[in-house]
Amino acid sequence: MKVKNKVIAVTGGGNGMGRELVLSLLAKDARVAAVDINEAALQDTAKLAGDKKDNLSVHIVNITDKPVVAALPEQVIARHGVVDGVINNAGIIQPFVRVNELDYAAIERVMNINFYGTLYVTKAFLPYLLVRPEAHIVNISSMGGFLPVPGQSIYGASKAAVKLFTEGLHSELLTTNVRVTLVFPGAIGTNIAANSGVGISQSVESNDQQRSIKTLAPSKAAEIIINGMEQDHYRVLVGSDATFLDRFYRFSPQRAANFIFKQMKSLLPE
């Protein structure tokens, strides 16, 4: 689905990759509903929209609040007239600790935002998308959704749930006008750790080894995702690391898992 003149809702639109998705869509003459829980971040996104700001609406929404999410499509339609697509981008990581040290509150928070938030938004918008001449759903999983990352086991489980949910949704909608795209970003240069409430001591940002990992600019990631959306791709791998590890894991899952463990083990507390 070409995004020009379409109305697209983007969750997590207040910062990072979500903000870049909003700005990239606006640059392609889409109309955008930016959704985020952080009002100040949304206002910053609106300021960056510049002369495209009239094509942007901002919606302060906690995507884990089912009734609030259920009301969102009508709010978007009230502002833009219709809705043609949704990009489920909002997500957080967990503290970099083993499952044994992770409390249930952190586990539930990750699952609620990453999986249930994606589910609630999809369910809310789908009836409206089904009546459009063409429509599109883009769900953001993660490289961690197909490859185990020690210290991010619950995050990975949430993104694996997004993966299979999206693949199932794609199959269910094959005979409809709604296309579905699944995205696997690798390392993207965002402040997801801070936005997830993960302390610096537990974050990849303070680790010498991690500084050698090349991250992809959020603007480039957004470009790749929107291109995949416009070409109706089934899967989109974002970044050379995601592409390499996807192939490696398909070839030898255990070797790939051991490789990632060696790369990431220094981040785990002893």
CATH classification of the domain holding 102: 3.40.50.720
Compute the average pLDDT of residues 199-222.
62
140 falls within a domain: yes
Q: Is the pLDDT of residue 191 over 70?
A: no
Q: Quote the domain boundaries for residue 28.
A: 7-267
Q: Would you say residue 135 lies in a domain?
A: yes
153 located within any domain: yes
| Catalytically active residues, by annotation | 155
**In this predicted model, what pLDDT tens digit does every residue of 104-163 receive, in sequence order?**
999 999 999 999 999 999 999 999 999 999 999 999 999 999 999 999 999 999 999 999
Distance separating alpha carbons of residues 26 and 193, to the nearest angstrom:
27
Say if residue 268's pLDDT is above 90.
Answer: no
Asked whether residue 1 is assigned to any structural domain, the reply reads no
Q: Are 14 and 41 in contact (CB under 8 A)?
A: yes
Task: Report yes or no: 52 and 27 within 8 Å, Cβ to Cβ.
Answer: yes
* Burial (Cβ within 10 Å: 0-12, 13-18, ≥19) of residue 54: exposed
For residues 209-229, give the mean pLDDT: 83
The reported pLDDT for the residue numbered 219 is: 95
In a domain, 2, yes or no: no
Number of domains in the chain: 1
Whether residue 30 lies inside any domain: the answer is yes
Task: Give 267's pLDDT tier (boundaries 50, 70, 90).
Answer: confident
